[in-house]
Amino acid sequence: MKHIAKKRFGQNFLTDHTVLYDIMRVVAPQPGDAMVEIGPGLGAMTRMLLESVTQLHVVELDRDLVKRLHAGFDPARLVVHSADALQFDFTAIPVPDGQKLRVVGNLPYNISSPLLFHLAAIAPLVQDQHFMLQKEVVERMVAPPGSKTYGRLSVMLQWRYTMQLMFIVPPTAFDPPPRVESAIVRMVPIAQPLACNQQALEQVVLKAFSQRRKVIRNCLAGMFTEDDLRAVGIDPQLRPEAIPLAQFVALANRLPDTQPH
């Protein structure tokens, strides 16, 4: 029986086998990998991953798809977690000693940003992440300072990861086709991120980019003085998108009652 994609779950199933093989080439799954797939859907990528990995964990919210996965795969090789990835505890997935988790998925566009932040909390336990996302989101993730797409998502994720847009995927690769282009992004956690209190950094970055057309002095008025900005090497007349990650971290570390971690 054909599964009808559900809009409320943001379902767009990847069906193009050429794209799937390109993803496998980029991910390069190995037999002993501790691999988890988010949003396996109808199992197209799942099947290809299981050609390489010994066991695969998947997290799927749609109960109809959970039933299909249980029926279509060997339970000894595919461990199905019927759960919302935004709430799922990824640390509960067993990982052999000395290994880290590898995360892959065709992420629903409607939850991509909150899910990326949810996963950032376990970055030290992750080897790498490969995701299919809306191309516009990936461009924001990897954007360098000075570009129009550089913003809160860029700073917060670049603090935790090195990231690379691997290749672009057209709407025709999906059923139903989305209205936008997609892209594959590789995310590798940084072993030693710049020392900073995460909440402080979030506070500074959120305020800085809430009025991105204004200069940084006005954006951060009430939080930092012009002298504070100059002390970390920031020209108060610059706009937020011109400020590199290291200087946002330096500002966050100037906030009172924050300890880097």
pLDDT at 259 (0 to 100) = 54
Residue labelled with tokens 């990897």: 142
Q: What is the DSSP letter of 92?
A: G
Distance in angstroms (rounded) separating the CA atoms of residues 195 and 193:
6
Domain ranges of the chain: 7-189, 198-252
pLDDT at 213 (0 to 100) = 86
CATH 1.10.3470.10 fits 7-189, yes or no: no
CATH number of this structure's domain 198-252, picked from the four choices 1.10.1200.30, 3.40.30.10, 1.10.8.100, 1.10.490.10 = 1.10.8.100
Provide mean pLDDT across the span 72-93.
96
Provide mean pLDDT across the span 209-235.
95
Distance in angstroms (rounded) separating the CA atoms of residues 116 and 113:
5
Question: Is 204 within 8 Å of 159 (Cβ atoms)?
Answer: no
Q: For the chain, what's the residue count?
A: 261
Is pLDDT above 50 for 7? no
The pTM score is 0.92
For 175-240, the DSSP string reads ESPPSS-EEEEEEEE-SSPPS--HHHHHHHHHHHHTTTTS-HHHHTTTT--HHHHHHTT--TTS-G
Q: Could you read off the pLDDT of 98-134 as tens digits, one per residue?
A: 999 999 999 888 889 999 999 999 999 999 999 999 9
Q: Could you read off the pLDDT of 51-66 as tens digits, one per residue?
A: 999 999 999 999 999 9
Is pLDDT above 80 for 257? no
At residue 79, φ and ψ (nearest 5 deg) are -100, 115
Is pLDDT above 70 for 9? no
pLDDT at 2 (0 to 100) = 52
Q: What is the dihedral of CA 132, 136, 139, 140, to 10 degrees?
A: -110
Distance in angstroms (rounded) separating the CA atoms of residues 35 and 101:
6
Tell me how crowded residue 23 is: count the other CB atoms within 10 A of its CB. 23
Is pLDDT above 70 for 73? yes
Distance in angstroms (rounded) separating the CA atoms of residues 198 and 191:
16
Is pLDDT above 70 for 258? no
Distance in angstroms (rounded) separating the CA atoms of residues 53 and 87:
25
Distance in angstroms (rounded) separating the CA atoms of residues 230 and 220:
13
Provide mean pLDDT across the span 155-168.
98
For 100-169, the DSSP string reads -EEEEEE--GGGHHHHHHHHHTTGGGEEEEEEEEEHHHHHHHHPPTTSTT-SHHHHHHHHHEEEEEEEEE
